Amino acid sequence: MKFTMFGELGALNRQGMLLLLLAGILSLSRAANPCCSNPCQNRGICTTVGYQGYECDCTRTGFYGENCTTPEFWTWLRLTLKPTPNTVHYILTHYPRVWNLVNQIPFVRNSIMRYVLTSRAHLIESPPTYNSNYNYKSWEAYANVSYYTRTLPPTPEDCPTPMGVVGKKTLPDPKYLVETFLMRKKFIPDPQRTNMMFAFFAQHFTHQFFKTDQSRGPAFTTGLAHGVDLSHVYGETLDRQHKLRLFTDGKLKFQVNNGEVYPPTVQEAPVEMTYPPHVPEHLKFAVGQEVFGLVPGLMMYATIWLREHNRVCDVLKVEHPDWDDEQLFQTTRLILIGETIKIVIEDYVQHLSGYHFKLKFDPELLFNQQFQYSNRIASEFNTLYHWHPLMPDSFKIEDKDYSYREFLFNNSVLLEHGISNMVDSFSRQIAGRVAGGRNMNPALLKVAITTIEHTRQMRYKSLNEYRKRFALKPYESFEDLTGEKEMSAELKELYGDIDAIEMYPGLMIEKPRPGAIFGETMVELGAPFSLKGLMGNPICSPEYWKPSTFGGKVGFDIVNTATLKTLVCNNVKGQCPIVSFSVPESVPSKSGSISPKSSNSGLDSVNPQGHALLKEQSTEL
């Protein structure tokens, strides 16, 4: 009996060992997700088949084969004839005489601009495809607008390494990365002469749609419109908008100081704003975006747009004395949205491009094209827009030099200097170069660290995967990426493989194009997101883009003649100051380097309450 029992137990043990071995084999099979190696090329979509197999969906990619690597004939011909992005950039930034001629021939200029818009916009999926919780198409990823969308799906969680199958199993410490490769040693001015007017415009403009939900995490946004809606002027919610409105002649609330209009205080417009306790009540200005009290440069633009709104209301009131407050307000908002898009394309993007070809805002160029008038903000767009190297070591306004400690949460700067003097000073002060690494002020390192942590939390794919997604040749080595030997050697030691370099650090340390503020990847990724978001706005659609939408010819003309200079000059007293996104060649640029009386610009120099709030702000700041 005992013998039989032990025999049965032995048999059971052998069966158990076989089951455990089989489970281990299955576990290993499951761990080796075949899509981790990103086998599908040219925008092909990888789908697992069982535990070890996969298939690539090459539909409408122009390629076929097991991994979507064989081009169809017309695809091969197009790729053979197509110049590289760097070649196109070189042509557009050289030969000024040729481009001056092109700019004067409407048909040719329109044709080129139409191609620029369509070729860029078609790189962005519409409708959206993924989000940070779904690496496959789902109704949730499409319909839940509380998510940022994703251009590339997140890396599967069961991959051998954070970047799939390449690189080391543990990514470098974010703090070490930022302090070693991003922190400024010495201020590097932008060779395109980008100035602080541009830097603050970029920050002010993008915070109407970069609104990470801090309570839910970096994959989520509190933005509702996913585009240019001027919620940073009017508020995200109807309740906030109503608290900012005067409800007379369509205008927004305001206060008058020294004969000039400024935003109302929080006491006058009781909206939630982010201010530390030490800020006096009369300096707590209330505007559409709750974080714009952070720096006077943001409040400067908030003041300019407030003045513009009320100015346009006056224009429409004369033209339409029969209109009530609501119609005046709503029509003015549409006009300001149009002004914003025109200024962004023809002044802001024009400056960034460095092109001799003159960009043109003309929605009618797309009316006969396949184009969807909708947009979703991508998480990757939010990430790549962290252009903090733009910020100088101190801020120079008239004859004063403000350290970060003196600048943060200090609206008294607006009242002391006035908008005109601030515009003039910021137009003269040069900003920092973004690409190339080692040019970020120490006061902003915490934001960069958090950005890297967030991209890891959302399981971003590598920089090279994003380059391939946007039809760029992947970098072959770290030296190819940085254009030098010192940083590239250490990066190779940290990451192990060029295909493992993360997107955000890669963008920041990428070698800049000759004489440019950015590297190739930043431009080729950023431009499609930007132009699709701008031209996908409802006001650019055939149903909206007509004079009646903007209150007739008068309002339509305001949109079609808008420039950065007219925006400022229509809203300051006296002579118009220097207004530009670049330091004019005729004006000696005020150095962005630190001055002796502002010797500390790191986090320790920020006022204590401001320091704490700066850390709490959204990582977009």
Residue 115 contacts residue 93 (beta carbons within 8 Å):
no
| Averaged pLDDT, 588-599 | 44
pLDDT on residue 620: 61
pLDDT of residue 217: 96
Q: Mean pLDDT, to the nearest integer, of 446-454?
A: 97
d(CA 128, CA 536): 13
> What confidence tier does 606 reach under pLDDT thresholds 50, 70, 90?
very low
Q: What six digits make up the tokens of 210? A: 């970069």
For the question of whether the overall pTM of this predicted structure is more than 0.85, the answer is yes
Rounded to an integer, what distance in angstroms lies between the CA atom of residue 336 and that of residue 562?
Answer: 9
Q: Please tell me which residue, 101 or 607, carries the higher pLDDT value.
A: 101
DSSP letters of 214-251?
Answer: TTT-TTBB--SSSS---HHHH-SSHHHHHHHB--STTP
Alpha helices in 211-295 (DSSP H): 231-234, 238-244
H/E stretch holding 395: strand 395-397
Tell me the average pLDDT across 345-366: 98
Residue-wise pLDDT for 175-185, tens only, equals: 999 999 999 99
**Mean pLDDT, residues 64-91:** 97
User: Taking residues 40-56, what's their average pLDDT?
Assistant: 95
- Burial of residue 190 (number of CB atoms within 10 Å: 0-12, 13-18, 19+): buried
CA atoms of 339 and 564, how far apart (whole Å)? 9
Cβ neighbours of residue 413 closer than 8 Å, sequence gap 6 or more = 296, 397, 402, 407, 422
Compute φ and ψ for 54, nearest 5 degrees. -155, 165
Q: What is the DSSP string of 86-113?
A: HHHHHHHTS-HHHHHHHHT-HHHHHHHH
Catalytic annotation, residues = 207, 385
How many angstroms separate the CA atoms of 235 and 244, rounded? 8
Return the H-helix or E-strand segment holding 64: strand 63-64
Q: How confident is the model at residue 171 (pLDDT cuts 50, 70, 90)?
A: very high
Among the residue ranges 179-193, 241-255, 450-464, 606-620, the one predicted with the least confidence is 606-620
Provide, rounded to the nearest whole percent, the portion of the chain with pLDDT above 70. 90
Mean pLDDT of 546-570: 98
How would DSSP label each residue in 287-310?
A: -SSTTTTS-HHHHHHHHHHHHHHH
Decide if pLDDT at 589 tops 90: no
pLDDT at position 599 is: 32
The predicted structure's pLDDT at residue 619: 52
As a whole number, mean pLDDT of residues 300-320 equals 98
Nearest to 501 by CA among 543, 464, 446: 464
SS3 83: coil
Rounded CA separation 474/104 (Å): 38
Residue recorded with tokens 């190779």: 492
- Of residues 370, 459, 381, the one with CA closest to residue 149: 381
Q: Find where tokens 């950039």 sit.
A: 89
Residue 600 pLDDT grade (very low, low, confident, very high; cuts 50, 70, 90)? very low
CB 239 within 8 A of CB 285: no
Q: Tell me what pLDDT residue 12 has.
A: 42
Q: What are phi and psi of 8, to 5 degrees?
A: -65, -40
Q: Which tokens sit at 276?
A: 């530390």
Does 118 have pLDDT greater than 50?
yes
Residues 328 and 333: their CA atoms lie apart, in Å, by: 9
C-alpha 447/C-alpha 276 separation (Å) is 19
Residues of 247-286 as b/e, b for ≥16 C-beta within 10 angstroms? Answer: eebbbbbbeeeeebbbbbbbeebebebbbbeebeeebbbb
Per-residue pLDDT band for 597 (boundaries 50, 70, 90) equals: very low
Average pLDDT over residues 87-102: 97
Q: Give the model's confidence band at 32: pLDDT under 50 very low, under 70 low, under 90 confident, else very high.
A: confident
Half-sphere exposure of 189 (CA within 13 A, CB side): 17
Question: What does the pLDDT average to over 235-262?
Answer: 97
Say yes or no to pLDDT of 349 above 70: yes
Q: In the beta sheet, which residues pair with residue 402?
A: 395
Average pLDDT of span 447-455: 98
- Residue 65 is encoded by which pair of tokens? 């084969």
Nearest to 147 by CA among 376, 447, 400: 376
Per-residue burial over 518-534, b = 16 or more CB atoms within 10 Å of its CB, e = otherwise:
bbbbbbbbbbbbbbbbb
Q: What number of other Cβ atoms are within 10 A of residue 66's Cβ?
A: 13
pLDDT exceeds cutoff 90 at 545: yes
Token duo for residue 526: 């950023």
Q: What is the mean pLDDT of the chain?
A: 91
User: Is the model's pLDDT at 430 over the cut of 70?
Assistant: yes
pLDDT of residue 8: 42
